[in-house]
A and B are shown apart, each in its own frame.
Chain A
């Protein structure tokens, strides 16, 4: 418990402009990204991350992105907030798919 709290305090000190490490994982038949791990500014939103993947895949079609193969956060959520809550060993796992994968 005390360890957990210490971790929390450290996270508090990060600013919006800290960088966040994101790992992209394709679901199903979707193409793998050339760079599957990137580092981005934490003040970017989840929507901008989706647009990034779309650009990399060179597609205009809908893309569904999930955190830890579980849920899609609200589009205007900042990546630093997502990273604080859901990063595993410092990496935010974002899986992506061209159809709804987790209803």
Chain B
């Protein structure tokens, strides 16, 4: 059962329509993309720019960044999380986002073209989540450089479909101790409202249930059953950075109930 859930999470994809418009390009251009929910938008930028290359207006310059309905999209949040924040579950149409250039909003804080800095963000989130689980980050800090690299590659590779084992062999070892502690461990959770703000929390595994977070909680595009504890769902739905990323969407609660 757990393996089946992990596999589905690993294979989760979202359909994205990337649009670039004047003054950055000659006319309005579009690129369709099937993006891995677990990775980050900047990883797709080279592929997108390669396609748009003939249409780019060479008088424009500066960094590229993405926005959805005038909101800049955070570089360091997994694509699946961004999708869950802005798009209703069960939506079958592509998510339309715009590629923009220059005047990078300060909120982004990261150089979109610099994959190394993105990797640093991931490594630190990975250590942070271990710290919440274990009370220290020793398990992650003592990983070899090679294992760290394999973990990163396993979910960021362009064709990250057959790499589930490479990830879970190592992640499983990191979680082994946590799993045998039946009580009194904290689940690394980031909770987001449907807006931009996110909040890191450590919530107690055996006592915190999904329904204590708000009425409708979405992760990986799934409306989570309300009677499960966060500890129970963590082992299946954890993102590769070691966090559960949960989106609370109170305002649309009634709609969700009908869909169920």
Contact = CB atoms under 8 A, between A and B. Distances in A.
A85 B109 contact: no
Nearest to A11: B201
Contact of B137 (A71, A76, A85): A71
Interface string A71-103: 111111100011011100000000000000011
A47 B120 CA distance: 15
A74 B184 contact: no
Contacts of B132: 85
A84 B201 CA distance: 8
A68 interface: yes
A5 interface: yes
A74 B76 contact: yes
Interface residues of A, number: 22
Q: Which of B124, B132, B201, B202 has the most CB of A within 10 A?
A: B124
A1 B202 CA distance: 14
B125 A74 contact: yes
A102 B142 CA distance: 10
A103 B141 CA distance: 7
Given A81-B199, A103-B123, A71 B109 contact: no
Given A76-B109, A85-B132, A102 B200 contact: no
B121 interface: yes
B127 A5 contact: no
Given A4-B204, A70-B136, A76 B107 contact: yes
Interface in A1-33: 1, 4-5, 8
Interface in B55-100: 76
A72 B140 CA distance: 13
Contacts of A72: 120, 124
A47 B106 CA distance: 11
Interface string B116-143: 0000110111011001100011000100
B207 interface: yes
9 contacts: A1-B183, A1-B204, A1-B207, A70-B131, A72-B120, A82-B200, A84-B201, A85-B132, A103-B123
Given A72-B124, A86-B131, 9 more contacts: A68-B136, A70-B137, A82-B200, A85-B132, A85-B201, A102-B127, A102-B141, A103-B141, A103-B145
